[in-house]
Structure formats: structure tokens, C-alpha cells
Structure 1
Amino acid sequence: MTLPSGLGLAEGMALSRLTFEALWLLQVSVGGTAGQLEVEAYVLGMLNPDEHSHDVIAQAMNEHFLDEGQAYPVSYWSATATTAT
């Protein structure tokens, strides 16, 4: 199965089937410092992450997809910033 590219955090989360706790641990493993509730709020759109936080969460999801044999479907900050304008 090929995943679509250019996904936001919420779309990537839905496709990943990760729990918020698992995503939080993954983002910590790639250098993230956000707490578990912050990660959940960023993904759900309740808080707006800064560029670094967004990219770390996207990287954590993308590494999960890579481990599952998929590409990197979740967009990084620069990609979402240019498509949002």
C-alpha cells in the first residue's frame, strides 16, 4: 500500500495507528522535548506547534512509516507553510 504524501499531523496520526503515548515516545527518541499532552494537542490542532516541534513529530511519524515499509507521507513545516499560503 502506498500512502499519499503531503499529509498533516492529524492525517498522519490517523494512518499510523499509533497511540499518542507511542508517538510521544517516538518524538522523544528523535530529539523532541514536547510532553505527551503537548504532542496530542499539536496533532489534534488544539495547540499550534512551532517549526521544530512540528518537524520532530513529523519525523517521528515518518520514521514509523519507514519501519512499516512506507515512504515519508507527513509534511514538514516548510512544506505546510508554503501550501497554506
Structure 2
Amino acid sequence: MTATPQLSLADGLRQLRLSDTELWNRYLALGGTGDLHQLRDHVRGGTCPDRHDHNIIAQALNDAFVDEGHDHAVAYHDLYRRP
């Protein structure tokens, strides 16, 4: 990783142009246990995800960035600086 990731979950999802369902499938594959509604709330900031869920969602998004040939862009829980 060349730079500290700065994107929020929502920004990463928008940039990747993944559907909520695509992200949810990636999240589940990494061990996430929330339902699709909970994932949407976490990503869009309706509820504050705990550190573990945030990091699983961030990892799912970062894996998608890597799949597209990019670096990890989405910040993990302890690295994200909210505006």
C-alpha cells in the first residue's frame, strides 16, 4: 500500500459501482454475518458499524479495488478520518 486509505465505505462503493447485493456477497464470503439491510445502513452511515463489521466491509471493497488493478482505497475503522 503506497498511501493511507482515505475513502469512506460509501465512497468506495460508489467508485467501484458495485451493487449492494454484490458487496453483500463479498462481505459474506469474508465472514460477515449481517443481512443486506444492515449492510446498507452501515455503508450509508445510518448506523455506526462496530470495528469488526466496518473492517470486513472495507476489506470486501478493497479486494474489489485490487481485482480492478488498484490499491486499497477504503480506510479501515481505525484509519478513517470522518470529515
TM-score by length of 1: 0.87
Equivalent residue number for residue 49 of structure 2: 49
How much is the aligned-residue C-alpha RMSD, in angstroms? 1.4
> Percent of aligned pairs with the same residue?
35
Q: Provide, for residues 16-75 of structure 1, a one-character-per-residue CA deviation record: whole Å limited to 9, x for no partner.
A: 100000000000011111111111111111111000000000000000110010100000
**Distance across 1 between alignment mates of 2:49 and 2:16:** 20
More helix by share: 1
**Distance across 1 between alignment mates of 2:31 and 2:6:** 22
**Distance across 1 between alignment mates of 2:34 and 2:68:** 24
Equivalent residue number for residue 72 of structure 1: 72
Equivalent positions of 1:8-47 (< 5 A) are 8-47=8-47
- Report the number of matched residues: 79
TM-score by length of 2: 0.89
- Answer whether contact 2:20 2:40 (CA < 8 A) is retained: yes
Structure 1, unaligned runs of 5 or more: none
Amino acid at match of 2:75: S
